[in-house]
């Protein structure tokens, strides 16, 4: 194939965003995916562009809390016993990432990528006339009582230091001015006005995909099982036989590290299994995204309805889903939002691709310079998709990226 041809493995929000950006830069692009556009983690996210979420999961002292969480099978962070041994090496790297030196570096890198992705998203929205699919209504982090609120202040000072705008609310009455209908147990909150959501993450990804196809892009439903170098290019092994490619981007989410391993690259990607329930329009008058941080879930507005989802279950790709996790989140939401109508909800479970330091992998394979990795965004795939697309396009074009990709290098572990 010609050198200006690029094959992208993965049609989630990151892969589709990269495809569209490369197309804008003059490349002929083909996208391959095992299940189609946004049919995995991209479909079931909260729909948030969470640019204010710069604090990594691996924070100093987190391992002191982890045993309590891990022993609760329905808690905000859990590891199923059947997966505990397999995930032990990842957990060791997670622990190392929580040391102050690594944490500070990850915090700075996350803030940089989120800030860049915010401006890249505005360019992307303009490029595809996407404003009708946006909701610019902010986000509210809720706290039960003075003690929980005060415990959060350090993290908000970190955000302030990185230029994130927010307002503290210190009474149920102040909270109700932005979001009425909450249980009065929530006495304090932090409101981030610049936070934005899409009306539906699947619809947004499909909108980008349609723009890509209208401009001549190709999307093919086929599973890529392995990558093999062949002369100056590659053969992508599929159940239907090999496909040739001159340049490849691996953006296959939670399946990406398996493809990287076929080239000889061992990247410590793990799978967070996320759960949610989406309630139909009219379930609750939700006016901003609500984050119940002490309980590990959020409520967001999706197509006029409400999506209740979150929690972290480190359980890999093969264990059966445990929908009791979705049920417990919905039960809590009904307590916190007393008028919430929980009827006719649709449950979902998806796989978030997560790295131990909460940073994505963006960069060339050390074994094949014409293979670019773009995966491992964890909870921030939608948030960082447009920024990742511009960075990947710069790497493929041989240009200096707008921000250094060194913190996201595949070789950092």
Average pLDDT over residues 385-410: 97
Q: pTM for this structure? A: 0.95
The full set of domains in the chain, from first to last, is 1-60+98-133+197-269+355-413 (3.50.50.60)
Can you state the angle between helices 100-127 and 84-97, rounded to 10 degrees?
Answer: 100
Residue 385 has pLDDT above 80, yes or no: yes
**Residue range 371-376: mean pLDDT, rounded:** 98
Which of the four pLDDT bands, split at 50, 70 and 90, describes residue 4? confident
Lowest pLDDT segment from 57-61, 322-326, 398-402: 57-61
Average pLDDT of the segment spanning 282-300 = 95
Q: Indicate the range of 173-187, 195-209, 299-313 predicted with least confidence.
A: 299-313
- Give the whole-angstrom CA distance, residue 106 versus residue 406: 11
Q: What pLDDT is stored for residue 148 in this prediction?
A: 96
CB atoms within 10 A of CB 14: 33
pLDDT score of 363 more than 60: yes
In contact, 11 and 249? CB cutoff 8 Å: no
Q: Which helix (H) or strand (E) holds 348?
A: strand 346-354
> Could you tell me which residues come within 8 angstroms of residue 125 by beta carbon, excluding any fewer than 6 positions away?
131, 134
**Is residue 307 predicted with pLDDT exceeding 70?**
yes
Query: Across the chain, what does the average pLDDT equal?
Result: 94
Mean pLDDT of 279-297: 95
Two tokens, residue 246: 């001159």
User: Cβ distance 312 to 78 under 8 Å?
Assistant: yes
Give the Cα separation of 77 and 93 in Å (integer).
Answer: 17
Residue range 213-265, pLDDT digits in tens: 999 999 999 999 999 999 889 999 999 999 999 999 999 999 999 999 999 99
């Amino acid at each position: 194939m010609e050198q200006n041809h690029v094959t992208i493995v993965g049609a989630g929000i990151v892969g589709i965003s990269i495809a569209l950006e490369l197309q804008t830069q003059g490349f002929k692009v083909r996208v391959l995916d095992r299940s189609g556009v946004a049919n995995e983690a991209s479909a079931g996210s909260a729909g948030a562009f969470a640019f204010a979420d710069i604090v990594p999961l691996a924070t100093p002292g987190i391992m002191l809390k982890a045993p309590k969480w891990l022993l609760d099978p329905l808690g905000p962070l859990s590891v199923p016993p059947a997966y505990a041994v397999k995930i032990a090496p990842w957990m060791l790297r997670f622990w190392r990432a929580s040391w102050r030196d690594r944490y500070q570096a990850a915090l700075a890198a996350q803030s940089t990528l989120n800030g860049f992705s915010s401006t890249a998203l505005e360019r992307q929205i303009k490029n595809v006339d996407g404003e009708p699919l946006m909701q610019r209504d902010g986000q509210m982090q809720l706290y039960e009582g003075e003690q929980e609120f005060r415990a959060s202040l350090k993290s908000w000072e970190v955000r302030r230091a990185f230029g994130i705008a927010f307002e503290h609310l210190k009474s149920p009455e102040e909270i109700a001015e932005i979001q009425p209908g909450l249980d009065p147990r929530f006495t304090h909150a932090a409101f981030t006005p610049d936070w934005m959501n899409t009306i539906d993450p699947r619809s947004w990804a499909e909108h980008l995909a349609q723009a890509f196809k209208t401009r001549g892009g190709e999307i093919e439903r086929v599973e890529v099982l392995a990558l093999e170098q062949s002369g100056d290019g590659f053969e992508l092994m599929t159940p239907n036989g090999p496909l040739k490619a001159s340049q490849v981007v691996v953006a296959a989410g939670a399946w990406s590290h398996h493809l990287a391993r076929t080239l000889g690259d061992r990247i410590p990607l793990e799978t967070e299994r996320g759960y949610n329930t989406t309630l139909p329009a009219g379930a609750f008058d939700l006016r901003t995204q609500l984050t119940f941080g002490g309980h590990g879930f959020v409520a967001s507005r999706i197509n006029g309805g409400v999506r209740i989802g979150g929690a972290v279950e480190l359980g890999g790709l093969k264990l059966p889903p445990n929908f009791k996790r979705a049920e417990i989140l919905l039960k809590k939401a009904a307590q916190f939002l007393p008028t919430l109508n929980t009827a006719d909800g649709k449950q979902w479970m998806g796989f978030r691709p997560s790295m131990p330091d909460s940073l994505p992998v963006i960069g060339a394979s050390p074994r094949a310079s014409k293979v670019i990795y773009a995966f491992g965004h964890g909870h921030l795939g939608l948030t960082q998709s447009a920024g990742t697309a511009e960075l990947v396009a710069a790497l493929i074009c041989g240009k200096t990226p707008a921000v250094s990709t060194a913190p996201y290098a595949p070789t950092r572990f």
